[in-house]
Amino acid sequence: MPKAGIIYNDVKPVSCRIAEELKQQLTAIGWDVCAVSGSGGILGYSSPDRPMCHTPIDQLVPPGFDSDMEFAVVLGGDGTVLSAFRQVAPIGVPLLTVNTGHMGFLTETYLNLLPQALEKVLAGEYEIEERSMLAVRLFRDNDCLWEALCLNEMVLHREPLTCMCHFEIAIGQHASVDIAADGIIISTPTGSTAYALSAGGPVIIPGVPVLQLVPLCPHSMASRALVFSNTEPVKILPASPNRLVMVVDGNGGCYVRPEDWVQVEKAPYRARFVRVQPPEFFHVLREKLGWGLPHIAKPSSVELP
């Protein structure tokens, strides 16, 4: 019996309803279906009285999900997609992402087009697009205190009402550098259109084997975004006396004390997207962000007297 999964946003009634209808539909044609909430991939935030609150990367796989699954359908917005990949990337399940949210930058199709998309998937008429992910770990001495898997970015920044921070950053075997800023972002190509874009970083086409470092409000004209090979791990030491905050995929995080250090590297797992149409990144940029749209009004060619 073939096996499929459903991951849905359980705070949205439409996602819950479609998840139940979809489960019944697939079960009726002989599929073994496991449906779970995307909340299982939400990391949660630490608090001052509980600074370390997390689940190890490989323990977020939902009950009933395994590598025998042919695919899973995600019903939600970008946040649900990010959460779902934290849940299934360790077992390699490809996801058909369906937008029931707002922007839906990471989603493959819309709810009204789900029947056609599902028909193609069941007929095997689809491609798998793989994207790199990050493994983020917090260390104190040599003990790993916190870890998370992310598809977009890791952000390390100052707490409110504290001063600007210094970060000592070593990329691979290169000499470490000092960056004075409110914070830093390490992002994947997928995350280059998220927080990193808002912070002035470049757009990077998915599939390019790189990561990028983007300082947040740097205190130097020379501290700009840096793109580097994703084969090189990044070690970050907060060279400031104040406690910092680390956030992963805008979803959850932990406190970072002055004696701690953070390691960011390409994860051994990849996000596997089900594509019912050939991937066309520039089309998504135009549709979602308005990039490269033709000018409506162009300069007049009338000669001046």
Give 153's pLDDT tier (boundaries 50, 70, 90): very high
Average pLDDT of the residues in 253-274: 95
Average pLDDT of the residues in 95-104: 89
Q: What angle do CA 197, 200, 205 make, to 5 degrees?
A: 45
Give 6's pLDDT tier (boundaries 50, 70, 90): very high
141: left (phi over 0), alpha (psi -120 to 50) or beta: left
Distance CA 178, CA 157 (A): 15
Q: How many CA atoms lie within 13 A of 132 on its CB side?
A: 25
Least confident of 7-11, 268-272, 277-281: 277-281
Give 40's pLDDT tier (boundaries 50, 70, 90): confident
Whether the CB-CB separation of 97 and 85 falls below 8 Å is answered with no
Average pLDDT of the residues in 155-169: 89
Q: Any residues with CB less than 8 A from the CB of 66 and at least 6 apart, and which? A: 3, 91
> What does the mean pLDDT of the chain come to?
91
Average pLDDT of the residues in 155-173: 90
pLDDT of residue 251: 82
- Residues of the binding site: 78-79, 152-153, 182, 193-198, 251
Alpha-carbon distances of 227 from 32, 133, 200, 209, rounded to whole Å? 44, 16, 13, 10
Instruction: For residue 78, indicate whether it is catalytic.
Output: yes
**By percentage, how much of the chain surpasses pLDDT 70?**
93
Q: Is residue 274 over pLDDT 80?
A: yes
Which residues are paired to 33 by β-bridges?
4
Among 191, 157, 156, residue whose Cα is nearest residue 78: 191
Q: Is residue 51 over pLDDT 70?
A: no
Quote the DSSP letter at residue 40.
G
Average pLDDT of the residues in 217-238: 93
pLDDT of residue 268: 97
Q: Which amino acid is at 160?
A: P
Question: In the chain, where are the structural domains located?
Answer: 3-131+270-289, 133-267
Average pLDDT of the residues in 139-147: 89
Q: Is residue 298 over pLDDT 70?
A: no
Q: 128-137: per-residue pLDDT in tens?
A: 999 999 999 9
- Residues of the binding site for NAD(+): 78-79, 152-153, 182, 193-198, 251
Q: Is residue 222 over pLDDT 90?
A: no
Q: Is residue 22 over pLDDT 70?
A: yes
Distance CA 157, CA 164 (A): 9
The one catalytic residue among 58, 68, 78, 260: 78
Fold of 133-267: Tumour Suppressor Smad4 (2.60.200)
Q: Is residue 270 over pLDDT 80?
A: yes
Burial per residue of 98-134, b for 16 or more beta-carbon CB atoms within 10 angstroms, e otherwise:
bbbbeebbbbbbeeeebeebbebbbeeebeebebbbb
Give 43's pLDDT tier (boundaries 50, 70, 90): confident
Which phi and psi angles does 121 have, rounded to 5°?
Answer: -65, -45
Alpha-carbon distances of 233 from 135, 228, 258, rounded to whole Å? 10, 10, 21
Select from 3.40.50.10330, 3.30.540.10, 2.40.30.10, 3.40.50.1450 the CATH code of 3-131+270-289. Answer: 3.40.50.10330
Rounded to the nearest 10 degrees, the angle between the axes of helix 13-28 and helix 114-122 is 30
Average pLDDT of the residues in 251-274: 94
pLDDT of residue 53: 62
Tokens standing for 54? Answer: 């997390």
Q: Is residue 61 over pLDDT 60?
A: yes
Distance CA 38, CA 228 (A): 32
Quote the DSSP letter at residue 77.
-
Q: What is the pTM of this model?
A: 0.90
Give 300's pLDDT tier (boundaries 50, 70, 90): low
Q: Is residue 77 over pLDDT 60?
A: yes
Q: Is residue 111 over pLDDT 60?
A: yes
Q: Is residue 70 over pLDDT 80?
A: yes
